Structure 1
Amino acid sequence: MQRRTVLKGAALGSLAALGAGYWALPTGPAPAALSLEGAQQVLAELVDKKLVSLKGWSPTEVFNHCAQSIEYSISGYPELKPAWFRGSVGPLAFSVFAARGAMRHPLDEAIPGAAPLNQPGSQAQALQRLQQAFADFAAYQGELQPHFAYGALSHADYAQAHVLHLYNHLSLIRPA
């Protein structure tokens, strides 16, 4: 009986936190359309620009991190959250982000089990890697791997997740 009460309380607490989180998400305009093409346009505009990060990771690390996420959606994430999470809290969080058209997550939190963010080491190379990852994802026709937190996503949902993820990280990057 106590276990059921604890589980119900945890579920209700999660729903309340997600509901509050929905309203706390940014409401300003996205840097471009919420599409793969919009993200690719934003990235093209960053080529040959000196960029700085307002806090946390450098632009190079951000580009490598976002590229990793896209690459892992095709090849498989190194570590997954537990199945119960990927079947409940994760998809619920993604649905909130998708409905709001904005994502907010810790901007210095690495993908579990991911390689360090220092390769490639230059901003230009990391940006090129990210552009290539978006191009590869757009052209990919095969089965996508489960997201480490959201679980199974369709190509369209993954595209939206990747774009929202990028735009969230770009909120801390400015021209030098």
Structure 2
Amino acid sequence: MVKLSHIPNAITSIRLLLVVPIAFFIAEESHCIALVLFAVSGLSDGLDGFLARQFGWVSTFGRLIDPLADKLMMVTTTIVLGVLDHFPIMLMLLIVTKDLAILGGVFSYTSLAGFPKIQPNLLGKLTTAAQIILIAMVLVDLCMANILPEQLFVSWYWLVAVITAFDGVYYLGIWTARLADDPRWKETM
């Protein structure tokens, strides 16, 4: 029997599984299908966290897999869109570099000091939301034959670039401070 407390993790796992079909449909230029799947993925990102917090179903698995699913979705979709020339390469590189650096920081910290307590913060949530909105806008525009004005994209590209850069610097500071304060890290020096 499935426990209700596993619902948020199931939703997150489904979101993780949607990464490949979304990338496939973008690559095949089936943008409307990719948009629908991406919308389901984006909405599920909020739903799983809401359910976990609302009903006390927060789990270690969820704390680990939810941000991983977010990062994998953003990295994969921005790479596919960037390679197909539907997304600015420099913004793609910024998003990919920031997300890989964060994942690398978590894995490095884990190998040196054990699994960290990961606390989502407002800047990280805003960054993820802005990136989801931008990817959705790109997919809407591709699906609807350039329906959105170019200036809207320019504004969102800059907004996402600035927020993503600040988010990356913020996380770099957090992980650096954590390692500097951790006696196990000091022993390795």
TM-score w.r.t. length of structure 2: 0.27
TM-score w.r.t. length of structure 1: 0.28
**Rg comparison, structure with higher value:** 2
Relative CO higher for 1 or 2, CA cutoff 8 Å, sep ≥ 6? 1
